[in-house]
Amino acid sequence: MIRDGRTPEAIDEAAAVLRDGGLVAFPTETVYGLGADAGSDTAVAKIFAAKGRPSDHPLIVHVPAGATGTEALARFAQPLPLFAQKLVRAFWPGPLTLIVARQPGVGAAAAGGQDTIGLRCPSHPVAQTLLAACARQGVYGVAGPSANRFGRVSPTTALHVHEEFGDELLVIDGGPCEVGIESTIVDCSRGAPVLLRPGAITRAQIESACGEALRDKEDLAAPDPRASGTLEAHYAPSAKVRLMDAKALQTGLDVLGANAAHIAVWSRTALKSRSQRVLQRRMPDDAAATAQQLFAVLRAFDAEGVKLIWVETPPPEPEWEGVRDRLQRAAAA
């Protein structure tokens, strides 16, 4: 069932469900999350079951802003290193997840059994209202992976979530997600910042804010902690995704000619096809606009029943890194 997140009644209903150990889908600025009380391993287990997600694949815990968020942070995390504190001040609330040392005995299931845990303070106003209401009910953190079946395309509208899980799941509607791809993830647990997943916040922004260069995982002796959305194959529609440059796309359309069918094309370059059965959609020239549309476009193509989705490879510029990452993982599925 979908509830309007602008109404106090919907927020109170969702907070009560989470307090009682249930699941609620809620909006963030990145994608919609499938939420449970992060402090309850029993509640968190319901997320893994609903998504079909391996229980050792960790979740991100969402915390409120302000003084309540500071209290929540202290409940789940050990004291942050200075560079991580700088990232919190620069980007929270916002689309940045930090992997930090976990407080013993708290959030073990959400952390996938690791000694580290991913924490984020979302900027979406509905998410913040819900998190604050949860804190008043004694739920100081909400574990919230994307509200879709494991490995599939992330949802960016309440309707996407409803299509995945049906009427039994309470979905708090906060409108289309503004960012459209999942948060940037920075590991802060090994003494230096390491980028584990690119997103809307770029490498240059991270380095400027924390005053340190991002390290490569090969530079550190300890292995990367497991983190959400870092599997090689992820974010995949039912149709097969292929990335190609504009010349290869046009060549493929020319070769197939009027017989081309069950193909969708998403490109910045204007392409021509002799077949009326090829679906074509224009990709924005702007990286942020492309990110906002990405998952919705893949879902729309799937809904049309295509078998192949051909996508023009995103540009190499740093601001496109998050889009490239999601499309490469979708194509690897």
pLDDT over threshold 80, residue 164: yes
The number of distinct structural domains making up the chain is: 2
187: enclosing H helix or E strand:
strand 184-187
From 219, 249, 283, the end of a domain falls on 219
Do 175 and 209 belong to one domain?
A: yes
Q: Tens digit of pLDDT for each residue in 48-73?
A: 999 999 899 999 999 999 998 899 99
Q: Quick: pLDDT tens for 292-330.
A: 999 999 999 999 999 999 999 999 999 999 999 999 999
- Clarify whether residues 89 and 41 are in a common domain: yes
Is pLDDT at 224 greater than 80 in this prediction? no
For 80-112, give one letter per residue: b (16+ CB within 10 A) or e.
bbebbebbbeebbbbbbbbbbbbbeebbebbbb
Residues 101 and 197 in one domain: yes
Domain match, 203 and 267 both: no
Is residue 289 very low, low, confident or very high in pLDDT (cuts 50, 70, 90)?
Answer: very high
Residue 92 lies in a domain: yes
Does one domain contain both 173 and 251?
Answer: no
C-alpha separations of 231 from 150, 175, 304 in Å: 11, 28, 27
Residues 148 and 16 in one domain: yes
Structural domain containing residue 167: 2-219
| Pick from 132, 143, 134, 174: nearest CA to 15 | 134
pLDDT at residue number 221: 65
Which one of 185, 219, 253 terminates a domain? 219
Structure tokens of 210? 């924390």
Q: Residues with Cβ < 8 Å from 139, sequence gap 6 or more?
A: 15, 18, 19, 37, 38, 39
Spatial distance between the Cα atoms of 27 and 143, rounded to a whole number of angstroms? 13
What's the Rg (C-alpha) of the chain? 20
Average pLDDT for 237-254: 96
